[in-house]
Structure 1
Amino acid sequence: MGGLLGEGELKVNFRKYSYNKTSKLIFKSSQDGGLTKLRKKLTLTALFLFSFISLFSYDLFFSGGELVHFINQKLNISTSVKVVSFSMDDTISKNISAINHQIFLEKDGGYSGDLNLNIKYDKSLDGYLHQKYMIFDDKAVLFGTGNFTRSGLLSDLNIFIYTEDEKIVKVFLDEYENFQSGLFGDSKKVINERLNAAEFGKVKIVTGPSKEVLNSVLKEIKRSKVSIKVFSYSFTDPYFVHILEKASSNNVKVEILSDDWNKTYSSPLKYMVDIKIKYRNDIHAKCITIDDDTVIIGSYNLTYRAREKNDEMVVIIKNKGLANDINRKFDLLWQEW
């Protein structure tokens, strides 16, 4: 699976469009090098295996140029896209505007670009529309921790996952249907789905505002035995102070990579006991890994507003490979600072 992931680098990319590009490169090489028929047959066999792998692969991205390139390539080969984000600018909107598109944004975040896009704004008066995902042709979804802006996709540290798993895509479509029906905040139908996904294994997807979002995250933290690694932009919720300190007191190694926003505002992070914390000026990710086998990712900041007011999405994935990939990135950033 390769070495350490750098910013903007993607993990696992064996999908069919990549296979097609790869095949052209290989056959050009075969012409230039005069490969034998046997070697050509072996090449075709290898390509078949790549195609097979593509049926069960996913893509993990960290913000950067590779992510933006991937999104633009997906938009170029798609006929429709559905977008949900707190805010958006023109970083990728040109390719969005070229196809059938529907966009929901938070009115306080909004669109800061210049194109004539089909945008609707959330109707909740209490909380933010804070989810971040993009559905391509109703068959694939890119979801994660960043808005579809220059800072969200390029400069700040965010994490995104792309999947074509039908069960996962359906859940995101169901949430999108809430917004399409004018249902936001407490008025919408809360989603709480447990899935057995071909690509990941056990997956739980929960939307808020609901107590189930908080309870689901706390439950995973409580079961930790060895380690907890936290990417946190905004951290103000005392529930998480208590549960993380309790985990630490039970000999669980707790490490937090926090944005320095928490130094400026009234975050309880500075009062936490026996927990290692490092600050950076570019952390926007909202992601927790537990015991090298569980990933909690989504739009959910560890705040009161996220818990009680906002339209949020949390995805809990039981997958060691995914957890290890994210942990390697965490450890790299930890060592740098």
Structure 2
Amino acid sequence: MWNLFQPKASRSRGRRRGDQIWLFLLFLGVVGYLVWDAYLRPIPPVYKASGGLELYFAPEQGRAAKGRLIGLIGAAQNRIEVAALELEDREIGQALVQAAARGVRVRMLNDSDYRRETHESLGVSSSSPARCETLQRIQVCYDSRPNALMHHKFVVVDDLGVWTGSTNLTWNAFERNNENSLWLPVPGLVQVYRAEFEALFAGQENGLGRSARFQIGSTLGAVYFSPAGGQKARNAILELLGRAQREIWVAAYVLTDTRIVEALVKAHRRGVQVRVVIDARNLSNSRDETLKQASIDVRKDGNPYTMHHKIIVVDGEWVITGSYNFTNSGFGRNNENLLILRDSTLAQRYKREVEAVWRAGTRL
């Protein structure tokens, strides 16, 4: 009531100060909630597993990785969902056919550019132009968008876990290319990936884009889906790069996202050691010149086939991986899944892989 006796100008200034304080408190509340939601919110038990994470690097461990995937398919009892850019491996194809023959419900989503490879891998002949068809008791649908890729590489097995990473389901991917594959045995992740698959399979071709946090042993993780959740995925990458303090290692099949390139340059300028290796075939499409102009040590890879990684390792503690290429299409058009993992032991394994690829490359 005392402000009634103040001059009007004074009361106006007081109200403005009060409004500013309330806006500031509101801002703090919003930021606090976002931090809590992203990092401090308890992870529900269904998104936790005591252990069992598996990591494979091809080509050195490519045969072991494919053998493990075929074993998982062979052990399935109820259902398998496959979302893969392409299926061009007859061993994996026949494992899926055998699973379907013994009564497992097998469904698969591929990019429409790879119908022929799917038919050959499943041992069938078909000229159907339909979006969906049944092949060897397997329900197969194809993405129909003309300017985007169904770029996932994941397999969901029963309620046991999710197989994902950079590795296409092709012979070359396991035998020749630089790739990484993960087995994530978390029931909650099964639910998240399966929900994304169900939407895509039903024709909702941008997906759901629901992110989720999870934990496997000491490994903390988050998963994001593009394009519906692509901006959130991209922001998570940029935030992590913005917090880097010591070092960033990048192995990129292609690198065209200017925001990510800018974040790498800014990190380098504030004293973070940044090292980048890019697939030699994609240099003409990537922004390696911007990195070189900033005096960042960037190399083209030395694999005569394909360096297909999409890996960033930050400060020996954080790993970014998945099917997500570091491009505008990666967050804006294509179907992708991005994983951000926090575990120093796991990060060191990824760092050794990226460093080996980087050292085998040629400085630009």
TM-score (norm 1): 0.78
Paired AA for residue 55 in structure 2: L
- Among 73, 96, 106, the alignment partner of 2:111 is 106
> Percent identity over the alignment?
22
Structure 2 residue 214 is matched with structure 1 residue 219: no
Cα distance change of structure 1 residues 200 and 84 upon mapping to structure 2, 3 Å threshold: farther
Give CA-to-partner distance per residue, 1:109-134, whole Å, 9 cap, x none.
44512524432101334421111111
Cα distance change of structure 1 residues 199 and 125 upon mapping to structure 2, 3 Å threshold: farther
Structure 2 residue 76 is matched with structure 1 residue 78: yes
Q: Check whether the contact 1:227–1:291 (CA below 8 A) recurs between aligned residues.
A: yes
Q: What SS class does the counterpart of residue 150 from structure 2 fall into?
A: coil
Whole-Å separation in 2 of the counterparts to 1:233 and 1:122:
23
Paired AA for residue 246 in structure 2: V
Q: What SS class does the counterpart of residue 320 from structure 2 fall into?
A: strand
Cα distance change of structure 1 residues 120 and 328 upon mapping to structure 2, 3 Å threshold: same
Question: CA shift at 1:294, angstroms?
Answer: 0.7
Whole-Å separation in 1 of the counterparts to 2:115 and 2:240:
33
- Among 170, 175, 184, the alignment partner of 2:205 is 184
Whole-Å separation in 2 of the counterparts to 1:69 and 1:236:
34
Paired AA for residue 123 in structure 1: S
Query: What is the match of residue 49 of structure 1?
Result: none
Whole-Å separation in 2 of the counterparts to 1:277 and 1:331:
12
Structure 2 residue 272 is matched with structure 1 residue 252: yes
Q: What SS class does the counterpart of residue 153 from structure 1 fall into?
A: helix
Query: What is the match of residue 330 of structure 2?
Result: 306
Q: Which runs of 5+ in 2 are unaligned?
A: 1-48, 101-105, 125-134
Q: Check whether the contact 1:84–1:103 (CA below 8 A) recurs between aligned residues.
A: yes
Task: Note the aligned Cα RMSD (angstroms).
Answer: 1.8
Question: CA shift at 1:261, angstroms?
Answer: 1.7
Whole-Å separation in 1 of the counterparts to 2:269 and 2:211:
31
Whole-Å separation in 1 of the counterparts to 2:216 and 2:73:
24
Whole-Å separation in 1 of the counterparts to 2:233 and 2:146:
20
Give CA-to-partner distance per residue, 1:281-335, whole Å, 9 cap, x none.
4210111111111111111111121121111111111111111111112222333
Cα distance change of structure 1 residues 164 and 88 upon mapping to structure 2, 3 Å threshold: same
Q: Check whether the contact 1:233–1:286 (CA below 8 A) recurs between aligned residues.
A: yes
Q: Check whether the contact 2:213–2:222 (CA below 8 A) recurs between aligned residues.
A: yes
Q: Which has the larger radius of gyration?
A: 2
Matched positions, count: 280
* TM alignment of 1:197-212, pairs within 5 A: 197-209=215-227, 210-212=230-232
* TM alignment of 1:250-329, pairs within 5 A: 250-263=270-283, 265-272=284-291, 273-280=294-301, 281=303, 282-329=306-353
Q: Check whether the contact 1:144–1:161 (CA below 8 A) recurs between aligned residues.
A: yes
Paired AA for residue 60 in structure 1: L
Question: CA shift at 1:90, angstroms?
Answer: 2.5
TM-score (norm 2): 0.73
Question: CA shift at 1:232, angstroms?
Answer: 0.4
Question: CA shift at 1:55, angstroms?
Answer: 4.9
Paired AA for residue 276 in structure 1: D
Give CA-to-partner distance per residue, 1:256-283, whole Å, 9 cap, x none.
12100223x2321133122111212421
- Among 168, 171, 174, the alignment partner of 2:192 is 171
Give CA-to-partner distance per residue, 1:41-83, whole Å, 9 cap, x none.
xxxxxxxxxxxxx952211001211111111222222233211
Q: What SS class does the counterpart of residue 228 from structure 1 fall into?
A: strand
- Among 151, 163, 182, the alignment partner of 1:161 is 182
Paired AA for residue 168 in structure 1: L
Q: Check whether the contact 1:107–1:122 (CA below 8 A) recurs between aligned residues.
A: yes
Query: What is the match of residue 257 of structure 2?
Result: 237
